Structure 1
Amino acid sequence: MAVVVWIAEGTWPACVDAARTHAPEGADIVLLHITPADIPGAAHGAFVGLLGRGHPERDPGTTLEHMATASAGQLLADAAQRLGRPCTRTERTGRVEREVVAAAEGADLLVLARDGDRTHLGPRSLGPASRFIIDHAPCPLLLVWPETAPGIATIPPPPPHPHPPGPPHHR
């Protein structure tokens, strides 16, 4: 069984715990971290546009790239330690949601966590990245709450209807 676990800031411990609990012993587990490509690129562009090309050693985009790589490596190391089983650590850079979907191709299970408003049950608990992944995943998913799920009292009320549902009336 091949299991991909999306390791993202703030939600990764719940994903690792779910993989440890639900992936059978001997499963091939891939811990996956995606660094968004747009952050260092925006810093590079701002530096060139505002400050010119004269001092590339002061380009903040390069610093951000190094920091992102170090952060990803540390997250993956922490996740592997928490998992406590053999695993593969994979780092990618790009559009987060598309990279996760691409990495899940051929997997038997993708583990991810809710990344939106986690104070209420419902669709807003999914951020744009997880919503895209859920809609496009090429394999079964295990969607987890990063912390204890909110109570069912947080479900939004149903929309108002002009007539109660029921069978149509015949004359």
Structure 2
Amino acid sequence: MRILVWVAEGTWAACVDAVRPLPGDVTLLHVVDVATAAALSGPVGLLGRSGPTDQGEYLLARAETELLDAAAARLGRDAAREVRRGRPEREVVAACANVDLLVLARDGDRSRLGPRSLGHHTRFVVDHAPCQIFLVWPESTPGLGTLLPPPHHDQIR
């Protein structure tokens, strides 16, 4: 089985923990949003010029390497690494082209059950990934008491 783990800041540890007991070839995927990269790589330096030594890009690459190193160490077995730059939701879906399972975590409101527990990037991936999905809660799962009541129009009179 080919398993892709979306290593995203704030939720990656739960994804790695979930995939650890699964058999198969694991790839750890990290995506840097182009908007974030652009914001960090704004014009700096002499006369507003920036180049390949841009500090923002260097810091992003360093943080990305440290994040993937931590994920690989936590996994405790060999794993391929894939890094991408672009729109995260599109890059993750594209990376799923040749995998059997994508492991990702809820990244929205994790205090209650419901659709808002998925951020907009994650919602897009869940709706469009061309493979099976293993969706995990990064913390303990909220109880059933957090489920919102049905809308008023659904109540029987």
Tell me the TM-score normalized by structure 2: 0.91
C-alpha distance in 1, partners of 2:83/2:40?
21
**Displacement of 1:83:** 0.3
Listed as ranges, the gaps of 5+ residues in structure 2 are: none
C-alpha RMSD over aligned residues: 2.1
In the alignment, what sits opposite 2:25?
A: 28
In the alignment, what sits opposite 2:15?
A: 15
C-alpha distance in 2, partners of 1:111/1:43?
28
Listed as ranges, the gaps of 5+ residues in structure 1 are: 166-171
**Displacement of 1:163:** 6.0
Higher-Rg member (1/2):
1
The aligned amino acid for 1:124 is R
The aligned amino acid for 1:56 is R
C-alpha distance in 2, partners of 1:44/1:68?
10
CA shift in 2, pair 1:13/1:54, >3 Å: same
4+ runs of 1 displaced by more than 2 Å?
42-45
Tell me the TM-score normalized by structure 1: 0.84
In the alignment, what sits opposite 1:135?
A: 127
**Displacement of 1:154:** 0.4
Report percent identity of matched pairs: 51
Given candidates 52, 76, 88, the residue that maps to 2:68 is 76
C-alpha distance in 2, partners of 1:121/1:132?
18
Given candidates 96, 101, 104, the residue that maps to 1:109 is 101
